[in-house]
Chains A and B, each alone.
Chain A
Amino acid sequence: MTPLLQVRGAGHRYGLRHGCRDVDLDLWPGEVLAVVGESGSGKSTLLGTLSQRLGPSEGSIRYRMADGRVIDLGEESEAAVRRLWRSEWGFVHQDPADGLRMHVSAGGNVGEPLMANGWRHYGRIREAAAGWLERVEIPADRIDDHPTTFSGGMRQRLQIARNLVVSPRLVFMDEPTSGLDVSVQARLLDLIRGLVFDLGLAVVVVTHDLAVARLVSHRTLVMKDGRVVESGLTDRVLDDPHAAYTQLLVSSVLQG
């Protein structure tokens, strides 16, 4: 058995400067990995590198596909990567406007990935969309409304539904809760945790908020200046941090 994602020496450069470098990690099916760090630590660059949203990168990133084949993402064509995007991966942006079509109805937003995957029965597309809206707690009568009329929390839940409707195996999340009010955050995290558990998703979630890591992730990776300074089981990392930087990070949260 090989991991879903096997990363060795991964890095990405902006000109001469490294956004992130020398990252090793394994991600197993059903596992949630949190990447934490301050802004500028390279965690979003790492997410972009893993998900192939950024250009050429260093190191190797191997992915085990649904059919069992293991591919090196850096060597795949754009078409192959886009196919993964359509059928096996999801990406939840911090700002829902980046991941939704704001002037397409909620149903259309959730239905689009299905249509992109060849669904051609309107009734079934709509049924699937309605089912997902219910799962993310968006009232059924809002199915034909545009996300522009939704609250921030609803938009984020809609973005999650749009990502999960194709039953992806791997979902990348970039600060999925940080644009929201604290009360809304808690509810959304709860929802994410439930969905991830029910669907057995593998997730890489980037967050600056240790509470998010604590609540949803199995393992945590701490980044600083583009490098991984510590990684391990989330409870171990947060309760018994080894690296000086992690200790500082954890204590600052406790004091704050």
Chain B
Amino acid sequence: MSARQAVYNIGYLDEQTKRMIRRALLKAVAIPGFQVPFASREVPMPRGWGTGGVQVTAAVIGEDDVLKVIDQGADDTTNAVSIRSFFASVARVATTTRTDEATIIQTRHRIPETPLSEGQVLVYQVPIPEPLRFLEPRETETRRLHALEEYGLMFVKLYEDIARFGHIAKTYDYPVLVGGRYLMSPSPIPSFDNPKMHRNPALQLFGAGREKRIYAVPPFTSVESLGFEDFPFEPQRFDEPCALCGSTGGYLDEVITDDAGGSMFVCSDTDHCERTATRSGTESATGTEAIA
């Protein structure tokens, strides 16, 4: 028996599926922060590895687009490389690592440091789209809470943190209220990145493949991180500059340098680090050779 060819469509997803996802996206944009159920397809990577983001990207990408993929802020982490090369091969689009050159940026866990501009699309990979999931495991109940705008439960969690620790102890996937109406999970980005979502000129799309949900924040939409009047939301801060490029005000990763507790802080956004370093003539987080 001769082996048959298994043939895949351009952009991997079939055209019907792309249309279905686009319809879900339109609904999501029309109701900012609302989770739209969609018939999530399997894609050729495992569930939980960005299958929602991949479907959203596949549905919006066109031949003129320039794609950037980051994971943990970096363009060269293995999963980012894998997803980028997937689109390069199935959609034949141009790719870049530069935030300002990309028209679509698919991300896991970060928002780039370089401010986004109108016309850009930021696609988030989302593991658990339901911000109330760990407070209320049942989908039928959380759907009702959203419909009736009953978010007291979320504030109980914040209240308990303050009662126990003296401050809110949530550092990533920090809940936000979108457009003054829907409670939304920003995906597991650090709370450091939350302020960047507020009134961002770019279109922010969120895809949760395993959980079969799509949601969106249209450009210039209010995104308020929850807090109390006397204990407002406070994003995390870093005191030191990046040890490689010297920039301040960005999110840093701590890198262990020896077995005696030594460590250094470097930019998590490799594109930002590289360009800051180029400007100032220092070494950057991506400018060095691999140990992988």
Contacts and interface: CB of A to CB of B under 8 A. Distances in A.
Interface of A: 78-79, 82-83, 86, 101, 104-105, 107-108, 111-113, 115-117, 120-123, 125-126, 143-144
B228 interface: yes
B148 A82 contact: yes
Given A112-B152, A125-B228, 13 more contacts: A79-B147, A86-B152, A104-B156, A108-B156, A111-B156, A111-B159, A112-B156, A116-B155, A120-B155, A121-B228, A121-B230, A123-B230, A126-B163
B169 interface: no
Contacts of B159: 107-108, 111-112, 115, 122, 125-126
A113 B151 CA distance: 10
A101 B228 contact: no
A115 B148 contact: no
B149 to A, nearest CB: 9
A132 to B, nearest CB: 15
A78 B156 CA distance: 23
Nearest to A115: B155
B45 interface: no
B118 interface: no
B156 A120 contact: no
Contacts of B151: 116
Interface in B122-154: 144, 147-148, 150-153
Contact of A115 (B147, B152, B164, B230): B152
A78 B148 contact: yes
B220 interface: no
**Chain B interface residue bracket vs A:** 10 to 19
B162 interface: yes
B258 interface: no
A121 B147 contact: no
Nearest to B226: A120
B101 interface: no
Contacts of B163: 105, 107-108, 126, 143-144
B240 interface: no
Interface in B151-195: 151-153, 155-156, 159-160, 162-164
Nearest to B153: A112
Contacts of A79: 147-148
A105 B157 CA distance: 10
B229 interface: yes
B238 interface: no
Contacts of B153: 112, 116
A249 B155 CA distance: 48
A130 to B, nearest CB: 11
B229 A120 contact: yes
Contacts of A113: 152
B201 to A, nearest CB: 28
25 contacts: A78-B144, A78-B148, A79-B147, A79-B148, A83-B148, A104-B156, A107-B159, A108-B160, A108-B163, A112-B152, A112-B156, A112-B159, A115-B156, A115-B159, A116-B150, A116-B152, A116-B153, A120-B155, A120-B228, A120-B229, A121-B230, A122-B230, A125-B159, A126-B163, A144-B163
A101 B156 contact: yes
Contacts of B155: 112, 115-116, 120
A105 B148 CA distance: 25
A47 B115 CA distance: 57
Nearest to A101: B156
B233 to A, nearest CB: 12
B229 A121 contact: yes
A82 B150 contact: yes
B229 to A, nearest CB: 5
A78 B160 CA distance: 29
Point out which of A86, A104, A117 has the most chain B C-beta atoms below 10 A from its C-beta.
A104
A108 B163 CA distance: 9
A116 B163 CA distance: 18
Nearest to A129: B159
A113 B156 CA distance: 10
A93 B153 CA distance: 20
Which 4 pairs show the lowest CB-CB distances between chains A and B?
A: A116-B152, A115-B155, A122-B228, A115-B152
Contacts of A112: 152-153, 155-156, 159
Contacts of A108: 156, 159-160, 163
A165 B26 CA distance: 42
Contacts of B156: 101, 104, 108, 111-112, 115
B160 A105 contact: yes
Contacts of A122: 159, 162, 228-231
Contacts of B162: 122
Contacts of A144: 163-164
A107 to B, nearest CB: 6
A121 to B, nearest CB: 5
Contacts of A101: 156
